[in-house]
């Protein structure tokens, strides 16, 4: 469809394996690389372009926190928080991966999230399931290993945690009850339907915890006090912070990661400038003799 409207040479598609990516990053006639994927692979891409200093945009991994304040109605917010965390079985970079909940509403929100999860069918899309499997075997094994670690370290599951041996790379929606901040389920990006719920009391403490990561892609704050929500959002080390919603994108909204979540900007005029080389031309008339 694009070929019918774009001038010849504007869009090309190349398919291949790992060798193709390295070839593109090192090729002297390719002037710009834009990559979306894991931080580990992003570092390899950056190393590949270093030889000729080609332009680079990286949109990488995240360990995105959501902070839910005490004034939130758990029942009203549970569905939005659920899909902010588990859409596409949590297989996208800006899924909520750490859910910080004020202690005053922690038990109520945990109960509501379990109820929402139980109402959502996980399975084969041909069977009208709303959530499907992990996309590939390597990632499926990583998620299973993470769940094994949760059990080995004595973490409590509010829901899920046990993967069946049925065909397919299916992992049940898993909610973990207030694990230690240093646990793998909190520190690592699961990239699968595993969500730790973490209890907090003090805003300064939760901001510190939310920022205690090498990542900084996105975050969200949930509160009825919008002024307070904006103050908290401004303190979070993330390229995008949503207040009372999540995953809103548009061509005119800048999107990019902080820290090891990326380099450069996508979308907006800032994003377009990533594909241009600015040039300054200055002139003055000669002074006549």
The catalytic residue positions are 59, 93
Per-residue burial over 52-88, b if 16 or more Cβ lie within 10 Å, else e, is: eebebbbbbbbbbbbbbbeebebeebbeebbbbbbbe
The total number of residues shown for the chain amounts to 289
Q: Give the Cα separation of 113 and 139 in Å (integer).
A: 25
Tell me the backbone φ, ψ of residue 16, rounded to 5 degrees. Answer: 180, -170
With contact defined as beta carbons under 8 Å apart, do 31 and 64 qualify?
Answer: no
With contact defined as beta carbons under 8 Å apart, do 210 and 60 qualify?
Answer: no
Q: Give the Cα separation of 280 and 72 in Å (integer).
A: 51
Helix/strand/coil for 69: coil
Q: Give the Cα separation of 239 and 255 in Å (integer).
A: 7
Helix/strand/coil for 268: helix
Q: Give the Cα separation of 54 and 28 in Å (integer).
A: 8
Longest Cα–Cα distance of the chain, Å, equals 91
DSSP H or E run through 33: strand 32-36
Left if phi > 0, otherwise alpha if psi is -120 to 50, otherwise beta: which for 149?
alpha
> CA angle, corner 141, sides to 172 and 40, nearest 5?
115
């Amino acid at each position: 469809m694009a070929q019918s409207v774009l001038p010849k040479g504007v869009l090309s598609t190349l398919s291949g394996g790992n060798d193709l990516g390295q070839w593109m990053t090192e090729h002297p006639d390719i002037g710009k690389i834009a990559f979306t994927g894991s931080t580990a692979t992003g570092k390899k891409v950056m190393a590949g372009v270093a030889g000729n200093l080609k332009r680079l945009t990286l949109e990488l991994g995240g360990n995105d926190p959501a902070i839910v304040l005490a004034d939130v109605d758990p029942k009203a917010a549970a569905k939005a928080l659920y899909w902010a965390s588990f859409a596409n079985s949590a297989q996208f970079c800006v899924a909520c991966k750490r859910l910080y909940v004020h202690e005053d509403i922690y038990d109520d929100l945990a109960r509501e999230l379990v109820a929402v999860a139980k109402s959502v069918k996980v399975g084969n899309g041909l069977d009208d399931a709303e959530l499907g499997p992990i996309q590939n075997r390597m990632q499926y094994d990583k998620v299973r290993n993470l769940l094994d670690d949760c059990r080995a370290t004595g973490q409590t599951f509010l829901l899920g945690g046990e993967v069946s041996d049925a065909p397919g790379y299916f992992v049940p929606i898993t909610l973990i009850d207030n694990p230690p901040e240093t646990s793998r389920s909190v520190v690592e990006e699961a990239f699968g339907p595993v969500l730790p719920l973490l209890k907090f009391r003090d805003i300064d403490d939760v901001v510190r915890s939310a920022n205690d990561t090498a990542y900084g892609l996105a975050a969200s704050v949930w509160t009825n006090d919008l002024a307070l929500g904006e103050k908290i959002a401004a303190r979070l080390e993330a390229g995008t912070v949503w207040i009372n919603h999540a995953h809103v994108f548009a061509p005119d909204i800048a999107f990019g990661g902080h820290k090891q979540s990326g380099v450069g900007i996508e979308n907006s005029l800032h994003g377009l400038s990533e594909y241009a080389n600015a040039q300054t031309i200055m002139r003055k008339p000669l002074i006549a003799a």
